[in-house]
């Protein structure tokens, strides 16, 4: 059995597990999720990441073979060096060779560890065994505190740049992220909300919530067509925390796409946070 360890590093956690490459599935019993303090010192962060990876191997009773890690940027993925700064997470790792430090902690060769952009890993996971399996021209986006994107076209996966696309008075991420909901709701009502889930829960009782989701869906579709109309992907699949409110915003997004006579299908990603973990293992 060809088992590869995958890890998805988030802003305050790591999820690790073993992926059966030959049978295209995650070994559920091997999964480990661990809270991480992103403000901790570098030794603590790296030690706790390694503990999670070791734990999933111990559970399965196997030795480490290969490890694929989905990592947020800015990051030198080829060499394993972190350049995260000014994002209130993992700043104590700045400039460090994470690959070498983890290899030493895990007692493996650095060549056994690879890194991949988290949005690109999300795309790779859904292509490998999720909603995008069998397609040859796709875009994957993640909606949350930020806007992640990646593309697969002509047998090539590429990290996306949708977040920084110039749009209206700023960039796309200013309008397609959870902070847009928070800012706009306060502007409309004078009240503050914690995030999108709170709005989704009041969708049918708060007309302001319904209005914001309609606006968001149409704006999302507008951004996607501006950026990907020329590529004309078969599907654009959507994940991330905001995707949990799918039924709140997708009707207005689809309506906008139809009004623009677009044939691009918008579908919901199916693997959740497992997508990046699985995708990190894929070559």
pLDDT digits (tens, 9 = 90+) for 32-47: 999 999 999 999 999 9
Contact of 151 with 233, CB cutoff 8 Å: yes
The model's pLDDT over 263-282, given as tens digits with 9 standing for 90+, comes to: 999 999 999 989 999 999 98
Note the pTM of the prediction, 2 decimals.
0.92
- In this prediction, residue 9 carries a pLDDT of 95
Q: With bands split at pLDDT 50, 70 and 90, how would you rate the model's confidence at 3?
A: very high
- In this prediction, residue 90 carries a pLDDT of 95
The model's pLDDT over 146-169, given as tens digits with 9 standing for 90+, comes to: 899 999 998 899 989 999 999 999
Contact of 144 with 181, CB cutoff 8 Å: no
CA dist 91 to 84, 168, 170, 183, 282, Å?
A: 6, 31, 26, 26, 28
- Tell whether the model's pLDDT for residue 251 goes beyond 90: yes
The candidate with the shortest Cα–Cα distance to 147, out of 268, 78, 243, 215, is 243
Mean pLDDT of 242-258: 97
Domain 122-274 fold is Nucleotidyltransferase; domain 5 (3.30.420)
**Could you tell me the two tokens for 278?**
């699985």
Domain boundaries for CATH 3.30.420.40 within the chain: 3-108, 122-274
* pLDDT above 70 coverage of the chain, percent: 100
- Tell whether the model's pLDDT for residue 134 goes beyond 80: yes
Q: With bands split at pLDDT 50, 70 and 90, how would you rate the model's confidence at 1?
A: confident
The candidate with the shortest Cα–Cα distance to 224, out of 151, 116, 275, 122, is 151
The candidate with the shortest Cα–Cα distance to 93, out of 51, 49, 53, 52, is 49
H or E element that contains 249: helix 246-259
Mean pLDDT of 114-141: 96
- In this prediction, residue 242 carries a pLDDT of 96
Contacts of residues 154-161 at CB distance under 8 Å and 24 or more positions apart, as own/partner, are: 157/120, 157/123, 157/124, 157/127, 158/120, 159/117, 159/119, 159/120, 160/119, 160/120
- Tell whether the model's pLDDT for residue 56 goes beyond 90: yes
CA dist 36 to 42, 60, 85, 144, 150, Å?
A: 11, 23, 17, 19, 26
Mean pLDDT of 70-83: 96
- In this prediction, residue 59 carries a pLDDT of 87
- In this prediction, residue 19 carries a pLDDT of 97
C-beta neighbour count of 166 within 10 angstroms: 9
What is the C-alpha separation between 32 and 7, in angstroms, rounded? Answer: 9
Contact of 178 with 184, CB cutoff 8 Å: no
Q: With bands split at pLDDT 50, 70 and 90, how would you rate the model's confidence at 145?
A: confident
Mean pLDDT of all residues belonging to the chain: 95
- In this prediction, residue 87 carries a pLDDT of 82
Mean pLDDT of 13-33: 95
Helices (H), 2-146: 42-60, 98-106, 118-129
- Tell whether the model's pLDDT for residue 81 goes beyond 80: yes
- Tell whether the model's pLDDT for residue 283 goes beyond 80: no
End-to-end C-alpha distance for the chain, whole angstroms: 17
**Could you tell me the two tokens for 162?**
């949708």
CATH 3.40.50.620 given to domain 3-108: no
What is the C-alpha separation between 201 and 204, in angstroms, rounded? Answer: 8
H or E element that contains 182: helix 178-189
The model's pLDDT over 218-247, given as tens digits with 9 standing for 90+, comes to: 999 999 999 999 999 999 999 999 999 999
């Amino acid at each position: 059995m060809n088992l590869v360890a995958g890890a998805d590093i988030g802003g305050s956690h790591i999820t690790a597990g073993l992926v059966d490459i030959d049978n295209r599935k995650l070994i559920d019993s091997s999964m480990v999720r661990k809270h991480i303090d992103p403000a901790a010192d570098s030794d603590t962060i790296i030690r706790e990441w390694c503990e999670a990876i070791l734990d999933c191997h111990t559970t399965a009773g196997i030795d480490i073979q290969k490890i694929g890690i989905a990592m947020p940027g800015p990051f030198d993925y080829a060499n394993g060096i972190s350049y995260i700064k000014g994002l209130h997470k993992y700043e104590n790792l700045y400039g460090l060779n994470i690959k070498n430090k983890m290899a030493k902690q895990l007692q493996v060769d650095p060549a056994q560890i690879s890194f991949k952009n988290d949005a690109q890993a999300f795309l790779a996971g859904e292509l490998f065994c999720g909603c995008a399996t069998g397609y040859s021209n796709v875009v994957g986006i993640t909606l949350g505190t930020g806007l992640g994107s990646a593309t697969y076209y002509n047998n090539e996966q590429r990290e996306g740049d949708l977040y920084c696309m110039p749009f209206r008075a700023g960039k796309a991420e200013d309008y397609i992220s959870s902070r847009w909901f928070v800012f706009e709701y306060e502007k409309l009502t004078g009240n503050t909300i914690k995030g999108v889930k709170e709005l989704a829960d009041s969708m049918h009782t708060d007309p302001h919530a319904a209005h914001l989701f309609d606006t968001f869906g149409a704006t999302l579709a507008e951004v996607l067509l501006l950026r990907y109309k020329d590529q004309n992907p078969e599907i654009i699949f959507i994940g991330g925390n905001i995707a949990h409110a799918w039924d709140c915003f997708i009707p207005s997004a689809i309506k906008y796409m139809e009004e623009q006579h677009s044939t691009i299908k918008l579908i919901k990603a199916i693997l959740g946070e497992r997508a990046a973990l699985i995708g990190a293992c894929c070559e």
